[in-house]
Structures are given as C-alpha cells and as structure tokens.
C-alpha cells in the first residue's frame, strides 16, 4: 500500500501505509484513477495544507474507484460498485488537508453516502473519464456563474484542464462564439477541437484588437469597448483583470476562477462607466451530480482532455509533467488494469 504525501516544501513522497478499515458509517474505495490538479502542485510548493509540524499532507482529490468494503449503517452502496468521490462532501475534504488523499491504493470515505460523496459511475464510462468529474464540476460552476446564454460572445483566459472544461460546457450549451487565450499551442489546439471559435497566444497578439475584430466594437460612455459579453479567467495572469476592465462593454460579466496569490490594482473609476459585473467561482457547490448526468453523452470529448496517462508508481514524474504548459490533464492509473 502506498500513499502520496507532502512532507515539506517541494518534498513529496510515496510512503507506505496500512490499509484502512471501514467503520459503521464508512466506505473503503479501491482507487482506479486520479487526476493531478493544479491545486496539488500548489500544495507541494507551499509545503502542504493544514499540515502539523513534522506531519504530512496526503494529496489527490480527483478520484474514481471501486467500492471495496461498506460499513453496516451505509445504504445504497455495495462492494464492486464503481464510484466517483466528491471530496467537498467528505468530512475531511479528501486531498486538501485532511488525513486522506485520493493518491493512495485504498481510500477511507467517512460518513459515506450515495449521491452525496460517492456518486455511481454511469454505465459505459471508464474510470479515467469518471475521474474528470471534479475538474469538470469546477469548470461548470465557473460557467454557471457567468450566466451566459446562446448568442453570447465569451472569452476564456487559460486552457488548462479547467479552461478546457469551460469550453466544453459553453459549447455544449449552444454558445458557439468562444475565444480562448493560452501560452501553449497544444492547449489552444485542444480548445479548438472542443469547439472554440478561435484561440491565440496573448503574447503574440493584441488581445483587445483581436476581440474587437471578432466580437465587434462599441462605445461605452466615453471609452471604446469590445463586444464581448462575458470573460472567464482560468489563467490568473495579473494583467487580466485590468485588461478586462479597460476593454469591456456596458453590462458585461467577468468571472474569476483562477487563484491569485498576490493583490493586484483595480481601476474602479474605469469600471464605474461600464457597470461590469465581477464575481468569483470556487469549487462546485451543486454541480458534481450535473456533470455525472452528462458524462455518458460527452465521454469521448472528455477523454480528449487527458494529455498523459501515468501509472501510480510513476506519479512523481506525473507531477513534473503536470507542471508544464504543454500538458492538459495528467491522469494517474492506480493499477495496471485501472481504466
């Protein structure tokens, strides 16, 4: 049995551990697939999250697996069931500071409940596609917060797994005019394959001019503006909020789902004239089950978001790959026959 633990800053290891046992309200899940998230990389750089001195932080929260054992008080779940873990609905928020992480052979899910923190995998969906549920739920929440509809013109900054998921949901909802920006051509190509109208490296074009050409231009009181209806930030570049405020039209919307680690200046005077709506999106308060209900229909498109497949024994190499701009989702197969 192995578990991926953070010990110190930039010190992450595969450690041995004892297989867990299910209490009366618990379920033990034999992990089959788990995706590497940007949060995992951030936790490693920070030396863990809520880690006690001398302790460790187990990581991994994008997991799917097979029910191994079920506590006597748990209903609706049985050994052999294929399930997705919803870490936000587990008592320890699995993989984000508690005693369990999904990068381990067997995971204890405390206070287990069907359709709440353990969601059945739809028939015909592989474990690796099922493990995409968590990032796809984050992406769906960001799109929901943008409050967009067919006919709207939308920009997505960043085409990592979350940005790609946003493109998937936008196009699936009939929003065909989606323009994306990313530094890596590989990620732009994936976004275009998912249905984005156009994609650009923002360091090689004038973003405002490109959007003016594609979405049109208009005046917003005293300032020229582009015709984009909504902007979604899945990149976190410090120039993006200011650029959006400077070029947005009246009544447009801006959703920030990227993590900003440092304060950035905001020109509220410029923003005042456009009545720009700025909001944030974090996690997936209600979206996890919605993603699963669409998964069988979209499984082939979802699979295209996986750029690398790594065996669990090589997960440390997978972490390095996930930190490169050329990768999309790096999926870890927890056992050879995993997916």
**Same domain (yes/no): 192, 253:** yes
276: containing domain:
136-280
**Same domain (yes/no): 164, 257:** yes
Under 8 Å between Cβ of 95 and 87: yes
Q: How many whole angstroms separate alpha carbon 129 and alpha carbon 301? A: 10
Q: Is residue 78 part of a domain?
A: yes
Total of domains in the chain: 2
CATH of residue 15: 3.90.180.10
Cβ-based neighbours of 54, under 8 Å, separated by 6 or more: none
Residue with tokens 């990227």: 258
Q: 276 phi and psi, to 5 degrees?
A: -60, 135
The token duo for 222 is 């005293």
Q: In tens digits, what is the pLDDT along the chain, a chain of 339 residues? A: 999 999 999 999 999 999 999 999 999 999 999 999 999 999 999 999 989 889 999 999 999 999 999 999 999 999 999 999 999 999 989 999 999 999 999 999 999 999 999 999 999 999 999 999 999 999 999 999 999 999 999 999 999 999 999 999 999 999 999 999 999 999 999 999 999 999 999 999 999 999 999 999 999 988 899 999 999 999 999 999 999 999 999 999 999 999 998 999 999 999 999 999 999 999 999 999 999 999 999 999 999 999 999 999 999 999 999 999 889 999 999 985 433
**What's residue 316's pLDDT?**
97
**Same domain (yes/no): 144, 241:** yes
Q: How many whole angstroms separate alpha carbon 234 and alpha carbon 200? A: 15
Q: 145 phi and psi, to 5 degrees?
A: -70, -20
Q: How many whole angstroms separate alpha carbon 60 and alpha carbon 312? A: 12
**What's residue 194's pLDDT?**
98
Q: Is residue 291 part of a domain?
A: no
Q: Is residue 287 part of a domain?
A: no
Q: Rounded to whole angstroms, what are the CA distances from 270 to 112, 237, 275?
A: 49, 20, 9
- Name residue 233's beta-bridge partners: 157, 256
């Amino acid at each position: 049995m192995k578990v991926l633990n953070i010990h110190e800053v930039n010190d992450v290891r595969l450690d041995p551990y004892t297989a867990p046992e299910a209490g009366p309200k618990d379920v033990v899940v034999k992990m089959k697939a788990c995706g590497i998230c940007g949060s995992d990389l951030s936790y490693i750089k920070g030396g863990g999250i809520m880690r006690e001195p001398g302790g460790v932080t187990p990581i991994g929260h994008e997991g799917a697996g097979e029910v191994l054992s079920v506590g006597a008080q748990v209903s609706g779940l049985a050994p052999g069931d294929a399930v997705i873990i919803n870490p936000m609905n587990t008592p320890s928020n699995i993989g984000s500071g508690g005693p369990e992480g999904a990068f381990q052979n067997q995971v204890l899910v405390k206070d287990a409940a069907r359709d709440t923190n353990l969601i059945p995998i739809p028939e015909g969906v592989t474990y690796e596609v099922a493990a995409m549920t968590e990032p796809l739920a984050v992406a769906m929440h960001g799109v929901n917060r943008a409050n967009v509809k067919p006919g709207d013109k939308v920009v997505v900054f960043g085409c990592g797994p979350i940005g790609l998921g946003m493109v998937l949901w936008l196009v699936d909802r009939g929003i065909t005019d989606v323009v994306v920006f990313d530094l890596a051509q590989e990620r732009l190509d994936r976004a275009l394959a998912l249905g984005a109208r156009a994609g650009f490296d923002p360091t090689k074009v004038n973003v405002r001019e490109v959007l003016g050409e594609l979405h049109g231009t208009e005046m917003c009181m005293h300032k020229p503006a582009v015709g984009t209806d909504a902007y979604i930030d899945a990149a976190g570049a410090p120039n993006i909020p200011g650029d959006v405020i400077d070029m947005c039209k009246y009544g447009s919307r801006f959703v920030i789902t990227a993590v900003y680690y440092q304060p950035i200046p905001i020109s509220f005077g410029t923003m005042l004239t456009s009545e720009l709506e700025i909001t944030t999106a974090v996690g997936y308060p209600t979206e996890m089950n919605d993603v699963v209900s669409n998964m069988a229909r979209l499984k082939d498109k979802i699979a295209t978001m996986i750029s690398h497949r790594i065996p669990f024994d090589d997960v440390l190499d997978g972490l390095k790959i996930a930190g490169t701009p050329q990768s999309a989702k790096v999926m870890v197969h927890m056992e050879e026959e995993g997916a």
